[in-house]
A and B are shown apart, each in its own frame.
Chain A
Amino acid sequence: MDIKERLQDVFRDVFDDEEIVISEETTAADIDGWDSLTHIQLVVAVQNEFGVKFSMVETSSMKNVGDFIRLIESRV
């Protein structure tokens, strides 16, 4: 599985929605329930899934799926 597919599984798990399909342009506006609270849950779940760590500034700067993918790629 590539990064995007694994990330999609994390999104489905965090937002409890098996229908979610992500693209690099997907933002909080496209996913029901993606607010500042679930954003942190998402970041922690991504950290656990990929075995990476994001700083405080990186956590708040990730605005879309593409940002997640680029940061993960730079770490793994």
Chain B
Amino acid sequence: MIELSTKSLFFVLLLLLAPFVLRYRWKGRKTVFLILNIAVISLAAGSLMQLAITAVWILIPFLFVRFVKKQQKLQPVLIIWLIASFVYLAGYGFLFSVLHLDLILPFKILGLSYFLFREIDYVLQMPYLKEQGYACDLTDYLNYVLSFYTLLAGPILRYKAFADDFHKDEDQKGYIPIAKQELFTLINRVVNGYFKVYVISAILDHYARYWFDGLKSHSSMLHAIVAFCIFAFFNCWFIYFNFSGYCDIVIGAAGLAGLEIHENFNRPYLSCNVIEFWNRHHITLSEWIRDYIFMPSYKLLLSGPLAKAAVAAQAIALFFTFFVAGIWHGTTIDYVMYGFFQGLGIVVSLLYREKRKKLLGKQKNKAYENNRAVIWITRIMTWSYISLTFSFTGYPVMPLFLR
């Protein structure tokens, strides 16, 4: 959650001033953006040690792409190293306790999980992009990985989209004007974003915490179940308003600076199944895991042991993908459960859809899917399931169950 502090006020100031610098086209523009990005990460880092480790972790993928010759062969090694070091740096508590390891680093690196996405995308995409004539110097790379607009919680940019967008209009000189209507729309979006984060989600967070704390002293099982459902209700709306509000702020502010950041939400709680939900919620994460986890694992299964069983291959690959994505969200055992339930929800949605298609046939299935009553019933069922699974994010639910 974004908290009101000196650092967040500095961030507001930065969002207000950056457009004046970034809308101006001159050859030093990307260096100025880099200075701003380094200033943000330096202020956010707790110590020099933290900053040094962040720098090393970020620079290795760039050096790999720049200097290693047999990249295709060594790519898997680098990716495994990046994931392993991410797990270590992020401090996955349940893994450390299972392996009886002690955490050496007493701090968390800011934006670490999002760095991982950008680094993997860069390593895998760059050889392909180079063939298409894309160039990337150290300044471009650091601006991509460290961009203060997406540093904290995405949306997850791809290098190609970032490079295309940042270097557009470079043949022009001077200030790139903004239309009045667009200016008001973007300012409105930023203000709405702050309202969602600091007012609506703050209220929802207060009630979610209130009902969660009440669970520790419940008088009966029925009371506990009702209290848990109310907590889940407030928590899922808190997640939506907090995260989508944050995205409104950064997408709007980046738009003021002439930069385009992809949309991350499309009314997710109107989804009719868990598959559709992940196409509408945290869209850039869904697209990333689709391209880099689901596609290779599904392709591997389809090309090998499950060549004649597409649905089984889909189910296994989807479960694996969303289980991994769930664990990526956090470092405690609660996030393992979150990943498990997301994977389960996706697989059930898939199998139900396939079974229904077979039973009803194409035409009847379409009519069923377009039936208003079915739409609303499935929306409510999906939202209920998602809100219960979201309970595992941000709250120690498993210790409560075990108690």
Contact of A56 among B124, B302, B314, B350 (CB under 8 A): B124
Chain A contact residues: over half helix, strand or loop, or mixed?
helix
- Which of under 10, 10 to 19, 20 to 34, or 35 or more describes the interface residues of B? 10 to 19
Q: Of all chain A residues, which has the CB nearest B124?
A: A57
Does B66 have its Cβ within 8 Å of any Cβ on chain A?
no
Q: Tell yes or no: A37 within 8 A of B by CB.
A: yes
Interface residue A59 (Cβ < 8 Å from any Cβ of B): yes
Cβ–Cβ < 8 Å partners of B292 in chain A: 56
Known contacts A40-B302, A44-B299, A44-B303: does B291 contact A60 (CB below 8 Å)?
Answer: yes
Cα A75 to Cα B379 with chains together (Å):
45
| CA gap between A47 and B295 in the complex, in Å | 14
Chain A, Cβ-Cβ closest to B121:
A57
- B298–A40 contact, CB under 8 A? yes
B290 within 8 A of A: yes
Q: Report which of A43, A47, A55 forms a contact with B128, defined as CB distance below 8 A.
A: A55
A59 and B295 within 8 A (CB): yes
A58 and B128 contacting across the interface, CB-CB below 8 Å: yes
Contact residues in A for B350 (Cβ distance below 8 Å): 37
**Distance of A47 Cα from B128 Cα, bound (Å):** 19
Q: Does A41 contact B (CB under 8 A)?
A: yes
User: At the interface, yes or no: B294 with Cβ under 8 Å from chain A?
Assistant: yes
- Beyond A36-B294, A37-B314, A41-B310, whether A59 also contacts B128 by CB under 8 A is no
Contacts A37-B314, A41-B310 given; indicate if A56 touches B291 (C-beta within 8 A). yes
A sample of 21 cross-chain residue pairs with beta-carbon separation below 8 angstroms, ordered by A number, consists of A36-B295, A37-B314, A40-B295, A40-B298, A40-B302, A41-B302, A43-B299, A44-B299, A44-B302, A44-B303, A47-B303, A55-B128, A56-B292, A56-B296, A57-B124, A59-B295, A59-B299, A60-B290, A60-B291, A60-B295, A61-B128
Give A residues with C-beta under 8 Å from B.
36-37, 40-41, 43-44, 47, 55-61
